[in-house]
Chains A and B, each alone.
Chain A
């Protein structure tokens, strides 16, 4: 025996005939290709759905924390007095990182273009607010967009108009006039110089402003350096872009307390597909160059409603939290301003003593590695102690909310209204998950069933030459495994691609391009042509196939062309419903891998039933089978 060669080396793992047959069954017919395509589509679908949902939850979690910190203390309608003391006590706890007071109220904001919006007003202390929420990172503008600069120059000249006009030389005045007078007038410098004294002071300011707005460069050449510096220094945003963020962080604009509005409060901001923003009118409607009117209704300490109060404040910047609901309705103003608007300011009382300023909420950020729940456990006793210690300091103890009247919750509890639907959608996702897998398994099952049916005689033959039942099962399980693996890998990459380009696909659905419709219709035409040619030969299949393929193509193409022609679109990710402006597009790698493996497992599971049927087949009947 030693001299004869041995074939045992390649019989180690899978019996050779199984892999051979699986390979041949796979490559000799179209059905397995359909099975692979089906598995790939299932896997891709799940990867896309799961990735989008996880991305959504991820965004949501990140946003939740950046917006309101980890733990929120909310007072009754009276607010929390001595909040500075409470903050100090909380920050002394090692589990807390920072805390900040907030005064929340509701109001109406009138914007420069006479648009009004109902807004949630948050009075904040920007510095500590940033420590809790990373607010600085949400400030959107760090430079002046588009042509907004020329409006800022005009506004700056307006501010220093009289002073600037007083420094103009005759020469400069003639230059200014030269630009303005119509062609039919004598434009010689002598003639213009004669006119200078007849023009009133105010008109020079207007002339300066107009030139600044429409041709800043020309103005700069007319003015001397000192004058130009004077203009720029009237608005230091013109001197250095860095001052924009500085003012945003200080909530201050030209020495006045300022508003920072959510990015979607103003209709002037238009989101681009890249996720950045453009300002309508090429910068004209840039909110930070305007003032807005905030109207609030103050509820007094007895619960009575006072007259609406108006306050005019400049805008200093806009913030983008990426939570659509917040970006659309929240505006931030300095804490003191909010306290004044709501009556929560520090006030001397008629009968002596001082009523302390109050905050409606305290936002607390947990220290690194501390969960909101752990932090919550600490804050509750701190508030109790705080209440015990300070209760007697206040003139009217009724207005000091006892612990029972204060709600101390984690951000997740606070956002229960948000989280509820998200959790439900996650449930939905899991249901989808299982359905898709069952579909996957059912497809493989159906396809393998038909193959087993077709290969009945082969099974009889294999049994007659000594193949075991287990060996037969192996062929079909291996078959399912291979379909699962190939389909799974294709599905993995397909899912990856779709997820990666999901925003582009979504945008394309939102504004279907004409070429897509034309391609679809051309495809339909080509199919019909092919079917017509083949039909002549008397075959039935081309007719049937042609009909099946061309009709959906025609319908789809027609819809796309119609949508492209009329500007209609299909918006599936409605930012208002989903809070976030973008469909999340990062592939959740572990989930994608698990999904792919799931597709493989379920393909094998689907193969089990046909495999068992094949193994149970009576070899004699199988041999007689024609």
Chain B
């Protein structure tokens, strides 16, 4: 995988001066205006920002779901420029290198818990050992007895755990989490964060969007999205 030895010298995921402008008819809405961010391998970065500041937009760009304005910034993962990749390469990037977790879980209602968790593996057609890995993850997340249930039979916290298991199914290096606890009560949210911390401890890189500073505290580093730019914040002492 990443042949760099240390995380500080060679960042895994880099966003360089990203610009993103939405067009509403004739009106241009600039959301990102030169946002830059570096995430080292295994690093947990929290992005703070008020509602509408463009946090989700930045995350979608990082995850290759969307592209920055033409010629305005680039995203580099493991030394390769995502914005230059073709569709196929970006699909593989989304499938293998990163995992998305959303505020509203976004599970497929017709599939069972284990099928949801296996979905990225099925999309990739074949990844050796993935089935066992998904099962292992679900069991680790306390869902071993829920494998054949449908998402609607689960609580919010359980659903989000299934979503995280799905995001991790193909063993990505970075997890992109968009307010993963935003829809949960505090206790449940805490459980999800513990789970993320545990994965982080095992070497998973995390980019987490939140507007709750107390949650951001858990991260290695907190940045703030403000006026379309990423502001560095002092590392919070633990």
Taking Cβ atoms with an 8 Å cutoff, the residues of A that contact B are 1, 4-8, 11, 15-17, 20-21, 24-25, 28, 457-458, 460-469, 471, 619-620, 623
Contact = CB atoms under 8 A, between A and B. Distances in A.
7 contacts: A4-B132, A8-B128, A462-B108, A463-B65, A464-B65, A465-B99, A620-B65
B128 A5 contact: yes
B92 A21 contact: no
A623 B96 CA distance: 20
Nearest to B88: A468
A17 B129 contact: no
Given A5-B132, A461-B106, A15 B122 contact: yes
B200 interface: no
A20 B120 contact: no
A612 to B, nearest CB: 15
Contacts of A461: 106-108
Given A15-B123, A21-B108, A620-B60, A467 B129 contact: no
Nearest to B111: A24
Contacts of B94: 463-466
Contacts of A8: 125-126, 128
A464 B59 CA distance: 12
A6 B128 CA distance: 5
A567 to B, nearest CB: 55
A461 B162 CA distance: 14
A114 to B, nearest CB: 78
Nearest to B130: A7
B5 to A, nearest CB: 25
Given A6-B126, A20-B115, A21-B110, A466 B91 contact: yes
A623 B176 CA distance: 15
B95 A466 contact: yes
A20 B95 contact: no
Contacts of A5: 128-129, 131-132
B201 to A, nearest CB: 24
B44 interface: no
B87 A468 contact: yes
Contacts of A465: 94-95, 99-100, 119-120, 123, 166-167
A466 B123 CA distance: 7
B220 to A, nearest CB: 25
A296 B188 CA distance: 106
A462 B122 CA distance: 11
B90 to A, nearest CB: 8
B121 interface: yes
B231 to A, nearest CB: 24
B124 interface: yes
B87 A11 contact: no
Given A21-B108, A471-B123, A1 B128 contact: yes
A17 B95 CA distance: 14
10 smallest CB-CB distances across A and B, nearest first, come from A466-B95, A24-B110, A17-B122, A8-B126, A466-B94, A11-B125, A4-B129, A465-B120, A16-B122, A11-B126
Contacts of A25: 110
B54 interface: no
Contacts of B72: none
A459 to B, nearest CB: 10
A449 B234 CA distance: 51
Contacts of B91: 466-468
A5 B94 CA distance: 24
A619 B65 contact: yes
Contacts of B88: 468
A7 B126 contact: yes
Given A461-B106, A465-B166, A623-B102, A20 B122 contact: yes
Interface string B137-179: 0000000000000000000000000000011000000000000
A336 to B, nearest CB: 85
A603 B132 CA distance: 38
Contacts of A6: 126, 128
B63 A7 contact: no
Contact of B119 (A4, A17, A28, A469): A17
A7 B123 contact: no
Contacts of A4: 128-129, 132
A453 to B, nearest CB: 15
Contacts of B107: 461
Contacts of A619: 65-66
Contacts of B95: 465-467
A25 B131 CA distance: 23
Given A25-B110, A619-B66, A623-B65, 9 more contacts: A7-B128, A17-B123, A20-B115, A461-B107, A462-B108, A466-B92, A466-B95, A468-B87, A623-B106
B127 interface: yes
A458 to B, nearest CB: 5
Contacts of B121: 7
A20 B130 CA distance: 17
A460 B102 CA distance: 12
A25 B166 CA distance: 20
Contacts of B106: 457, 460-461, 464, 623
Interface in B64-92: 65-66, 87-88, 91-92
B120 A7 contact: no
A462 to B, nearest CB: 7
A8 B111 CA distance: 21
A386 to B, nearest CB: 80
Nearest to A471: B123
A15 B100 contact: no
Contacts of B96: 466
Given A6-B128, A457-B106, A467 B123 contact: yes
A458 B107 CA distance: 8
A33 to B, nearest CB: 16
Contacts of B99: 465
